[in-house]
């Protein structure tokens, strides 16, 4: 119960990595405000824990949603210690096929949603010597031709993290980013299904091809990322600050 009596906001908490993070923080004793668009899925996540929780179904692409999330957290829990910006998925595809709307949508949720929430939460995090964790992605360090939007958004989030880490030194707020690589989510499952279909492979063969071409040790589990978040937020992880942490099975090759 390393986070007992701590309060947290986790965005994108209805599925995948965000769901795993929310469950892990509740397991560690935190009270958690879960935010995403799917209220039914959020309530199912909240029902898995005996810790105090609340849900807000909203679209964080809309500026007013960030205000609703933070206001609800303060109303339910009185204060705020942790913000985990996880929400956001970007469209893959050939650069020439990606529209202006695709680019706007990619930045609207994952980048500007995180910026708005951080701005609103920061005074509380400063008062509580709290923590900010951004979930970006390995494409921010190693962009690829099918991930021009995602790589750009993630890179912007990495830069934002470094800038906020400097403010964190001034205000005693811990700030870090985790860059997941391929993680077993619904989105990755669809990619593997497409690969299998295009190359006429069974599921096991498609996974083998994926690992070889992506040059990774294995596919990650959402719980792998959640465990890392929990460690960073624990007393043992407080020295980690301003870090861009690659948790990607070896896909990032830069030094």
Residue 96 and residue 192 in one domain: no
Residue 210 lies in a domain: yes
Say what the pLDDT of residue 119 is.
Answer: 98
| 194 and 134 both lie in a single domain | no
The answer to whether residues 138 and 77 belong to one domain is yes
* Residue 164 and residue 198 in one domain: no
Neighbours of 89 (CB within 10 A): 17
Q: Which residues constitute the domain of residue 189?
A: 185-219
pLDDT at 253: 86
Residue 66 domain flag: yes
Residue 2's pLDDT is what? 92
- How high is the mean pLDDT in each 10-residue block of the chain (255 residues)? 94 97 96 97 92 94 97 96 95 94 96 98 98 96 91 97 98 98 91 93 93 92 98 97 96 86
* Pick from 247, 202, 252: nearest CA to 221: 247
Instruction: Count up the domains in the chain and report the number.
Output: 2
Asked if residue 43 belongs to a domain, the reply is yes
Residues 6+ apart with CB under 8 A from 62: none
Instruction: Identify whether residues 61 and 92 lie together within a single domain.
Output: yes
Q: How far apart are CA 104 and CA 224, in angstroms?
A: 30
Mark whether 138 and 205 lie in a shared domain: no
In angstroms, the CA 113 to CA 81 distance is 19
Mark whether 166 and 201 lie in a shared domain: no
Residue 135 lies in a domain: yes
Q: What is the side-by-side order of every strand in the sheet holding 82-85?
A: 53-57, 31-36, 7-11, 82-85, 131-135, 174-180, 244-247
Residue 255 lies inside a defined structural domain of this protein:
no
pLDDT for residue 46: 95
CATH code: domain of residue 55: 3.40.50.720
Q: Decide if 2 is inside a domain.
A: no
pTM: 0.94
Do 197 and 241 lie in one domain? The reply is no
């Amino acid at each position: 119960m390393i986070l007992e009596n701590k309060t947290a906001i986790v965005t994108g908490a209805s599925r995948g990595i965000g769901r795993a993070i929310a469950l892990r923080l509740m397991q560690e004793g935190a009270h958690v405000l879960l935010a995403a668009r799917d209220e039914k899925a959020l309530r199912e996540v909240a029902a898995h824990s005996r810790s105090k929780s609340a849900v807000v179904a909203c679209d964080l692409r809309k500026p007013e949603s960030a205000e609703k999330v933070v206001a609800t957290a303060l109303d339910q829990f009185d204060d705020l210690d942790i913000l985990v910006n996880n929400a956001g998925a970007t469209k893959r595809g050939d650069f020439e096929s990606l529209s202006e709307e695709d680019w706007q949508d990619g930045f609207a949720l994952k980048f500007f949603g995180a910026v708005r929430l951080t701005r609103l939460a920061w005074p509380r995090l400063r008062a509580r010597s709290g923590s900010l964790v951004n979930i970006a992605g390995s494409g921010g360090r190693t962009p690829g031709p099918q991930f021009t939007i995602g790589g750009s958004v993630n890179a912007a989030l990495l830069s934002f993290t470094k800038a906020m880490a400097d403010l964190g030194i001034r205000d005693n707020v811990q700030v870090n980013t985790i860059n997941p690589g391929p993680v077993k989510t619904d989105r990755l499952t669809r990619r593997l299904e497409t690969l299998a279909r295009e190359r006429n492979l069974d599921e096991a063969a498609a996974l083998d091809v994926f690992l070889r071409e992506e040059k990774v040790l294995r596919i990650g589990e959402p719980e792998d990322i959640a465990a890392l978040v929990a460690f960073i937020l624990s007393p043992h992880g407080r020295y980690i600050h301003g870090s861009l942490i690659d948790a990607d099975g070896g896909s990032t090759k830069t030094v």
